């Protein structure tokens, strides 16, 4: 059974790129375009991993991450930040990898494989 990755990003081109990239590497994907939709999807889909943009409308990455960590059944879901935003947001725990857009394919796959095996 393939692992499921929830992609949360407000840029449709990035979402499409990540969907194709993950599916080409045998992962199942689910998408959300803001943090509010992301929290709904993570509850409904229980992904194995979340990729998260930080700068989004409605509810950005920081608020999504804080909301995720408040949910006891979801708080241990691994997150990889993929964002064009500057330095590491202080709300993120130190074990959350942060990749800068445009993301390098090899770096992304290496992080995903390190987390999901």
Q: What is the pLDDT of residues 13-30, one digit of tens each?
A: 999 999 999 999 999 999
Q: What is the pLDDT of residues 34-53, one digit of tens each?
A: 999 999 999 999 999 999 99
Number of domains observed in the structure of the chain: 1
| pTM of the entire predicted model | 0.93
The backbone torsions φ and ψ at residue 4, rounded to the nearest 5 degrees and listed phi first, read -105, 130
Q: Report how far residue 76's alpha carbon sits from residue 70's, in angstroms, rounded to the nearest whole number.
A: 10
Host domain of residue 50:
4-116
CA 13 to chain centre: 15
CATH of the domain at 41: 3.40.50.2300
């Amino acid at each position: 059974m393939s692992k499921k990755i929830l992609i949360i990003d407000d840029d449709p081109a990035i979402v499409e790129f990540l969907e194709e990239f993950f599916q080409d590497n045998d992962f199942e994907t689910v998408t959300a375009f803001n943090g509010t939709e992301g929290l709904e999807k993570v509850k409904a889909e229980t992904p194995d991993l979340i990729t998260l943009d930080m700068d989004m409308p409605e509810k950005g990455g920081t608020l999504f991450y804080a909301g995720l960590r408040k949910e006891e059944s979801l708080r241990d879901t691994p997150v990889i930040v993929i964002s064009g935003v500057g330095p590491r947001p202080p709300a993120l725990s130190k074990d959350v990898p942060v990749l800068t857009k445009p993301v390098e394919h090899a770096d992304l796959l290496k992080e995903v494989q390190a987390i999901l095996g």
